[in-house]
A and B are shown apart, each in its own frame.
Chain A
Amino acid sequence: MMAIRFDRIAGCGFAFAFGTAVLTASAQQTQPPPDQPATPQPMSAAAESIYAAVRPGLLQIRTLVEAAGRQSSIGSGFLVSADGLAVTNYHVVSQYALEPKTYRLEYSRPDGSQGALKLLAIDVANDVAIVKLDGESLPHLAFDEAALADKSPRGERLYAMGNPLDLGFTIVEGTYNGFVEKSYNPRVHFTGAINPGMSGGPAVTAAGKVAGINVAKRLDGELVSFLVPAGKAAALLERARTEPPLDLAHTREDIDRQLMVWQAGFYHALGEQGFRAAMLGPYRAPESAAPWFNCWARTNADKTPKPRALLDSTTCSSQSSLFIADDMETGRAELTHAYVRSIDLNPFQFAAFISQYYGTGGMIRSWSRKRLTQPECHEDFVERSESASGPVLRAVWCARAYRDFAGIYDVAITTVTQDRDKEALISRLAMQGVSYDNALTLAQRFVGELAWAK
């Protein structure tokens, strides 16, 4: 199966090491031929004038360990008002947001001035935060009107700015490639080299207007980077202006509320999109019809030594991951179906073979003592309701609660068909960061759709 690795581009120790390697590698790449530039001006001259114009509005945002007074992670940001409001990524300030007593936030500007930052608002789902520094008539940036209306032309040249790897403020040319098709949380696909430390910095148009905020890149590709759409930052900025600032003593409750709203929307949308049936041997298995799933198939048919039972599985993962903290990500849903049939295993051996896919709990991320309660499980044989005709199932439901957030759970339900002794369908629905009721509703629908193919 193909592993996809994203990296958020706030710089901390680990990301630095990796980021440096990526940087060296990308320096050897030849630049792809540019899309037909819309501007008649030579590009370097454009970048020069943009850099000069935008630079005064940039910030480097540092998270410092309060006790040591040293930075533990760095990112970027940009001023959006003369009185010191600035935009950055939530993941740049997440350590401070969650542990305000252990960390503090500081900015430094290209002119060398430094100072403390106040955290006013966060938007976890879109990875945006609004911070404020003290000052008057500060240079600041404006949002691009076309970007706010999601009407940027594909191929438009954008300039990502920020302070990569703590090396100094830089400008990087790249192209706007529309929205990422399979991402549930809207992300702009930016083709350009953004690196750890540039998180939270702006990606501006040739006119120096903000079209997006640098947020992440793919580790398995070249120059495949992502921006938060400008509209999401503008919306949070508006909220920060009108609503009281974030109460740092209750950040968790604020995130909890955001997660509740987010999961309600996500799982409602999943339900609305519905399931389509996939035929696997004698069984009909539900697969999500939602567009934001990436599916990968796997088989053991080509294994050596020759397998004694054939296993064909499909795993569909939603592209909807939410960053909460360095050790906490949530927001994904995963559907797996594995159709297994015996080649020369007897019924006992076949049961032992499928046991390895049954008893694991089936959660998406590994357990963390700090973040999650111990899982609780219920398992039994399940008979189908009168309306549905399907095999008896062996089912196990496992759930664990988030310690930091009330009402949010990780849930997985795994079922094994019990109508044949040398053939079985193992199905799993795993949900991260879901309310208990939404999990029950979706799981019930999922199990209801498991049936015999007729």
Chain B
Amino acid sequence: MGEMSAVLSGEPIWIEVLSRLHHDVAARYRFVSLPVTVGRAYDNDVVLDDPHVAAHHLRIARGEDGALIAEDLGSLNGLYIDRERARREHVVLDAGHDLRIGATILRVRTATHEVPAEVPVMRGLGFWLPAIACMAGVFALAALDLWLSETGEPKAIRYFTPLLILTAAVFVWTAGWSVVARVFTGRARFGLHFLIVAVGLLAYSVYDMIAEAGAFAWSWTALATTSYVAAWLILGGICFAHLLAINRARRPLKIVLAAILAAAGIAMQTLKQAEYRSTYGQPVTLSRLEPPALRLVAPQREAAFFTDSAALRAKLDKARTEEPDGSEALDDSDDGG
């Protein structure tokens, strides 16, 4: 009965064997009549070479209601869908799920399966144009920064060396991600990865410039001394974007990975800064002044400045007794008391 109705329903189906690596279609078979059997034996309609597939592994037929059903014919390794771990005896097929038998992945689609809209062919530069524009911005800002801090004899080499190193680093970084993408998805997408790093660098360049000038303009030293935090956050963002560009799966995991990278970087650099300070006693002050016209805050009154300076005394007195670094001073005062 079932077989008759399948024949009568007449709608052809496609069985596609997918590659394990990128889930590309490796082979595609069209069937007008059902049922169809799948297995290693040569009397099947679809013959697979997978040693983990049974001689007669799978039977695809229409149920009484006309739905396509895949049925395990009693194999050793069983029938699964997608990445699930639970073995199925039979599966009602719809276009959204892949079948897994042995080490083979199958997809069953009917002729009415809807395909996504046509993607326009990338003509000319595609991602390259915005990427190059962003990189031009990065270079321009870097060169501007170098020029504005040029106080000695102007030398071209001062500009070329850092810009060349930057170019090489961007190329190596982009190439690295492209290779990873190529391995996992089969598509390198160099242009897209280039765009991601270019946007990230531009964002950092702009932030850094604002932070440097803002630290002076608003008299807020911490803005300049903590710009590494922004650098690591942006790096985390860049890595997340790269991972997403490779494929869209496992988004939460990727967010966590990027967050861990940023957090680890920030923690490391904060620690390093503290360590450096305690080893060399470097004061934390603004390292770069800007032209007076850039000042945006009202100046402190002289008296207020000295009141704030006087307030540091408590901090110093506390540090004097607390910090264990100068062990000798502490040892002796202990003995004295």
Residues of chain A having any CB pair with chain B under 8 Å: 99, 249-250, 252-253, 305, 308-309, 345-355, 358-361, 367-385, 392-404, 406, 409, 413, 416, 418-421, 436, 440, 443-444, 447-448
Contacts and interface: CB of A to CB of B under 8 A. Distances in A.
Given A373-B319, A399-B313, A409-B316, A378 B305 contact: yes
B336 interface: yes
B110 interface: no
Interface in B64-123: none
Contacts of B278: 369, 374
B328 A369 contact: no
Given A249-B335, A308-B152, A401-B316, A374 B302 contact: no
A351 B216 CA distance: 11
B44 interface: no
Interface stretch (B180-188, B244-252, B287-295): B287-295
A378 B308 contact: yes
Given A352-B149, A401-B319, A421-B292, A358 B302 contact: no
28 contacts: A249-B335, A308-B153, A345-B151, A346-B148, A348-B148, A349-B148, A349-B150, A352-B148, A355-B288, A361-B282, A361-B285, A370-B326, A372-B281, A373-B320, A375-B283, A377-B312, A378-B312, A379-B221, A380-B219, A383-B301, A392-B299, A395-B305, A401-B320, A409-B316, A413-B309, A418-B292, A419-B292, A421-B292
Given A392-B299, A397-B312, A401-B320, A347 B283 contact: no
A309 B153 CA distance: 11
B305 A382 contact: yes
Contacts, number: 183
A400 B316 contact: yes
Given A352-B149, A352-B151, A444-B306, A379 B299 contact: no
Given A375-B281, A377-B283, A403-B326, A447 B302 contact: yes
Contacts of B148: 346, 348-349, 352
B332 interface: yes
A366 to B, nearest CB: 8
- 3 closest pairs, A vs B, by CB? A367-B281, A347-B291, A381-B299
Contact of B333 (A252, A375, A384, A385): A252
Given A374-B319, A401-B319, A355 B292 contact: no
A73 B244 CA distance: 69
B326 to A, nearest CB: 4
Interface of B: 147-153, 219, 221, 277-293, 295, 297-303, 305-306, 308-313, 315-317, 319-320, 323, 325-326, 328-330, 332-333, 335-336
Nearest to B293: A421
A383 B299 CA distance: 5
A436 B289 contact: no
Contacts of A447: 302
B301 A385 contact: yes
A363 to B, nearest CB: 8
Contacts of B310: 436, 440
Contacts of A99: 328
A305 B152 contact: yes
Contacts of A368: 281
Given A373-B319, A401-B317, A367 B292 contact: no
A300 B323 CA distance: 42
Given A253-B336, A373-B323, A404-B329, A382 B302 contact: yes
A435 to B, nearest CB: 10
B277 A374 contact: yes
